[in-house]
């Protein structure tokens, strides 16, 4: 009998309706976790839920816009009432924004990228922390990118927001060092995803790795036995 490595764990994944978020959700469900699928689009969330149930897994849908601070703040109490704890959190959701020189970026555009990529994750940590504390081994994984360090020209909102996210996650890892909470970052590299297609519209995505090829590192970092924290991982495919 195959051992399910995440049996009975409760896992929340943001941006779970497509791309890497969807792939992680399917992988977690196949490993025995009950997956909480968070994204804006109800229709696409329903499709992921259907795929999970067709494979014998279980999931719950959370239609939520990450720019809605009040909705995020209410999420923790709502999940506490239903699940009492949260064992795994994958901060996958992010937006690229338009690629543009720094002086040409409208403030509304800048604010939206930071609202989704940084502020939403701070709010999620704040509202979910009591549930992480109730887990015997809470495991948090934040998605980042190499552009956080390379400071690539014309990618300012995305690269700077990812650098801020890395600081956010590492700070929480340090603050939680003496608890059962472990926090890590993953840079998955180039993948065939809608965001990648937006950034590189002329690229042949058939030459890229598929999101399904990246999920093993997310399973390993979600396991209670994995004790590392405050590290950045780049999976090899």
Active site residues: 158
Compute the half-sphere exposure of residue 205: CA atoms within 13 Å on the CB side of its CA. Answer: 14
DSSP symbol at 93: -
- Report the alpha-carbon distance of residue 73 to residue 77 in Å, rounded: 8
Interatomic CA distance for residues 121 and 166, integer angstroms: 11
Phi, psi of 63 (to 5 degrees): -70, 115
Query: Where does the chain have alpha helices with state H?
Result: 19-30, 42-54, 69-83, 107-114, 120-134, 147-150, 156-175, 194-199, 215-222
Burial of residue 226, with CB atoms counted within 10 A of its CB: 0-12 exposed, 13-18 middle, 19 or more buried: middle
């Amino acid at each position: 009998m195959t051992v399910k490595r995440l049996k009975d764990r409760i896992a929340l994944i943001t941006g779970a309706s497509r791309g890497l978020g969807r792939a992680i959700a399917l992988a977690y469900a196949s490993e025995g976790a009950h997956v909480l699928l968070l994204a804006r689009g109800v229709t696409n969330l329903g499709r992921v839920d259907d795929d999970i149930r067709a494979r014998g897994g279980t999931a719950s849908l959370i239609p939520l816009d990450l720019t809605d601070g009040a909705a995020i703040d209410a999420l923790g109490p709502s999940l506490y009432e239903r699940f009492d704890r949260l064992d795994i959190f994958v901060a996958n959701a992010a937006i690229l924004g338009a690629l543009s020189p720094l002086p040409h970026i409208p403030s509304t555009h800048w604010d939206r990228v930071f609202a989704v990529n940084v502020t939403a994750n701070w709010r999620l940590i704040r509202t979910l922390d009591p549930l992480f504390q109730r887990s015997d081994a809470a495991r948090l994984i934040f998605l980042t990118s190499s552009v956080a360090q390379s400071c690539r020209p014309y990618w300012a909102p995305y690269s700077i927001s990812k650098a801020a996210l890395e600081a956010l996650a590492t700070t929480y890892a340090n603050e939680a060092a003496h608890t059962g909470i472990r926090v890590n970052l993953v840079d998955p590299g180039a993948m065939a995803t809608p965001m990648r297609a937006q950034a590189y519209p002329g690229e042949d995505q058939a030459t890229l790795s598929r999101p399904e090829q990246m999920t093993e590192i997310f399973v390993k970092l979600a396991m209670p036995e994995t004790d590392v924290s405050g590290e950045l991982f780049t999976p090899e495919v």
